[in-house]
Amino acid sequence: EYGITRPKGYTVSYHATPEMEKHHFGQTHPMKPWRLTLTKSLVTAYGMPFAMDNYMTREATYEELNAFHSSDYLDYLITAAPEDQPRDIENPDKEVKYNLGGSDCPLFHGLYNYCSMSAGCSLDAARKICSNQSDIAIAWGGGLHHAKRYEASGFCYINDIVLAILQLLRTHPRVLYIDIDVHHGDGVEEAFFSTDRVMTVSFHKYQPDQFFPGTGGLEDNGPKSEHNPGAHHAINVPLQDGITDEQYQYLFENIIGTINQRYRPSAIALQCGADSLAGDRLGRFNLRVQGHGACVRYCKSLGLPMIVFGGGGYTPRNVARAWAYETSIAIGADTRIPETIPEHTPWREHFIHDTLFPTLEQSMSEPRHNRNSEKRLRDIISHVHEQLRFVAH
Ligand code: VJV
Ligand code: CA
Ligand code: ZN
């Protein structure tokens, strides 16, 4: 309908399942798996599935999850009962131990299925990259970057990104992980702290004690113990409220471009948390859909195989806009799709404004004051360049 055809010379795969979207964290919890339905509805209304290989995701197996997560934690996650079920009175401390059952990481019906589907979608994407059957693999159901080996954290229970990168490392010598979620990608950073085969780069709001998770300062570049090959391989770009598209793109292209030249990754894992968009319920930045998408376009331009993950994103209509637009960038249709949301889009009324690219004023009543000075951005860039001098070509 919009002349969307398969891209010439490369393959894009889309990994999803409607089963994942049926889960609920609770009535007013900010994480709404339903945003994946809204994304898929927009992707489909624009005719994008014609241009991709579409795969129905399976659940990851216990053994697959066990490649990163401890058996203790997984065993508890499998049996963990939702709030309205009787508790495991034998083990009252376990929930505390694993950070489960609080308001951030509630125990809800079907939790283990939800987690294994999210991981399954990212693992399938990684396998398609490893076998060269896809050049860009899209896993919007993944991107849960806070989960630790033995602990849930910040709405994340299973770290599908770590699992997918471990898969990529079977065939790729060096993987570059990039995280544009408004929160610090602490779980992925920590998992690869002691290897030089993964470089992690997170852009995030940084205000310890005020904004979750509080880690990811400019000077935090991986443990600098004497024989740690992972030292200098964690890059953090701490930002303040109100950063604009122009500033973000300047930082992103400078930093990622320099890292690409210096580190020479053979594959990219890009976490596209949409909570960095203007008007996000939890986010603080002033990014528009175009500015967020420019990161995906730039990574694609590097010509490396890439997995694109979801992540945060708490204003579902904007999450769907960004991820649909980024899907169009992946297939090279971003210049062909009309800006007006198609008439026949299911749940079209949820978008409020009928454009794919709302203005800042349409996204929020009052744009946030920009607290990022040009001087600070230059200092960040110069610190990152300094770190990269320690990284062997
Ligand atoms: O800031 C925190 C931790 C607290 C304790 C728990 N209370 C609810 C909030 C403060 C210190 N957690 C963050 C976690 C953010 C996770 C982001 C995940 C991602 O986007 O990076 C990747 C998927 C936080 N910020 C806001 C909330 N929690 C929050 C949680 C709720 C809520 C409102 C806000 C949980 C339940 C309900 N409302 C009903
Ligand atoms: Ca981030
Ligand atoms: Zn986030």
CATH label of the domain that carries residue 339: 3.40.800.20
Q: Which ligand is nearest to the CA of 105?
A: 1
Q: Are 272 and 294 in contact (CB under 8 A)?
A: no
Q: Are 165 and 217 in contact (CB under 8 A)?
A: no
State how far the alpha carbon of 381 is from the alpha carbons of 253, 256, 302, 377, 378, in Å.
Answer: 11, 11, 20, 6, 5
Task: With cut-offs at 50, 70 and 90, classify the pLDDT of residue 393.
Answer: confident
Q: Which pLDDT belongs to residue 371?
A: 98
Does residue 96 belong to any structural domain of this protein? Answer: yes
Beta strand residue intervals within 97-192, DSSP E: 136-139, 175-179
Does residue 260 belong to any structural domain of this protein? Answer: yes
Task: With cut-offs at 50, 70 and 90, classify the pLDDT of residue 56.
Answer: very high
Q: Which pLDDT belongs to residue 94?
A: 79
Does residue 23 belong to any structural domain of this protein? Answer: yes
At position 329, the amino acid (one-letter code) is: I
pLDDT in tens, 104-152: 999 999 999 999 999 999 999 999 999 999 999 999 999 999 999 999 9
Does residue 49 belong to any structural domain of this protein? Answer: yes
383 is catalytic: no
Q: Which pLDDT belongs to residue 84?
A: 55
Q: How many residues does the chain have?
A: 393
Q: Show the tokens assigned to 248.
A: 């973000």
pLDDT in tens, 255-309: 999 999 999 999 999 999 999 999 999 999 999 999 999 999 999 999 999 999 9
Q: Which of 146, 184, 204, 292 is catalytic?
A: 146
ipTM: 0.98
Sort 381 into a burial class: Cβ within 10 Å, 0-12 / 13-18 / 19+. Answer: middle
Nearest of 109, 66, 94, 42 to residue 327 by alpha carbon: 42
Q: Which pLDDT belongs to residue 90?
A: 62
Does residue 1 belong to any structural domain of this protein? Answer: no
Kindly give the distance from the C-alpha atom of residue 244 to the centroid of ligand 3, in angstroms, as a whole number: 17
DSSP 277: B
What domain count does the chain have?
1
Q: Whose CA is nearest to atom 19 of ligand 1?
A: 312
pLDDT in tens, 182-236: 999 999 999 999 999 999 999 999 999 999 999 999 999 999 887 899 999 999 9
CA 185 to chain CA centroid, Å, is 9
Angle at 164 between CA 162 and CA 169, to 5 degrees: 90
More confident residue, 86 or 115: 115
Element at 131 (helix H, strand E): none
Q: Is a pLDDT exceeding 80 seen at residue 384?
A: yes
Q: Is a pLDDT exceeding 60 seen at residue 86?
A: no
Q: Which domain holds residue 374?
A: 12-388
Q: Is a pLDDT exceeding 90 seen at residue 93?
A: no
pLDDT in tens, 307-342: 999 999 999 999 999 999 999 999 999 999 999 999
For the CA of 104, the closest atom of ligand 1 is: 35
Largest CA distance in the chain: 61
Q: Is a pLDDT exceeding 90 seen at residue 365?
A: no
Q: Which pLDDT belongs to residue 87?
A: 60
Mutate-to-test residue for ligand 1 from 104, 160, 280, highest number of ligand atoms within 8 A of CB:
104
Q: Whose CA is nearest to atom 27 of ligand 1?
A: 104
Rounded CA-CA distance 120/141 in Å is: 9
Does residue 291 belong to any structural domain of this protein? Answer: yes
For the CA of 154, the closest atom of ligand 1 is: 16
Does residue 31 belong to any structural domain of this protein? Answer: yes
Mutate-to-test residue for ligand 1 from 103, 148, 181, highest number of ligand atoms within 8 A of CB:
103
At position 97, the amino acid (one-letter code) is: K
Q: Is a pLDDT exceeding 70 seen at residue 241?
A: yes
Q: Are 292 and 327 in contact (CB under 8 A)?
A: no
Nearest of 73, 70, 166 to residue 123 by alpha carbon: 166
Task: With cut-offs at 50, 70 and 90, classify the pLDDT of residue 97.
Answer: confident
Alpha-carbon dihedral angle through residues 88, 91, 95, 96, given to the nearest 10 degrees: 150
Does residue 2 belong to any structural domain of this protein? Answer: no
Q: Whose CA is nearest to atom 23 of ligand 1?
A: 312
